[in-house]
Amino acid sequence: MPQKTDVTLGLLKEIRTALAPLANIADAYDNDALDEARRSWNRGREQDLATILYQGRGGEALIFLRDAVEARHMCIKVDAIVTATENFIQELLVMQEQLDKKVSDDDSNR
């Protein structure tokens, strides 16, 4: 189990790392440090979320501020999943140690 869990946690951490740059853009918006849109401009959240951050050839919108905000939400969720999983694994290890000790004590009392 730990090996599969380590792989899963590793993948979650890689996903979080990949999303982090977009999440940082959302933080910059919140802190009025983004040139394309600033919260203090009071244009309305929906209008700000529709702000194009990156365009491809022909003016095709590829990344919106909304994408950055969604990436930040996913980073928060991934962090929570990783933390909960690590805590659960620790609890399982403690339980396993307690069970091993009980079995050992029972064997020595025979």
pLDDT band at residue 84 under the 50/70/90 scheme: very high
- The number of folded domains in the chain is 1
pLDDT digits (tens, 9 = 90+) for 26-48: 999 989 998 888 888 878 888 88
Contacts of 55 (CB under 8 A, 6+ apart): 61, 62
Task: Label residue 32 left, alpha or beta by phi (over 0 means left) and psi (-120 to 50 means alpha).
Answer: left
Examine residue 109 and state whether it is found in any structural domain, yes or no: no
pTM score > 0.85 for this model? no
The answer as to whether 92 is a domain residue is: yes
50, amino acid identity: A
**pLDDT of res. 75:** 95
- 10 sits in the region (left: phi over 0; alpha: psi -120 to 50; else beta) called alpha
Which residue type occupies 109? N
In a domain, 78, yes or no: yes
Residue 18 lies in a domain: yes
Domain assignment present for residue 52? The answer is yes
Range of the domain at 28: 2-104
Q: What is the pLDDT of residues 89-110, one digit of tens each?
A: 899 999 999 998 888 887 777 6
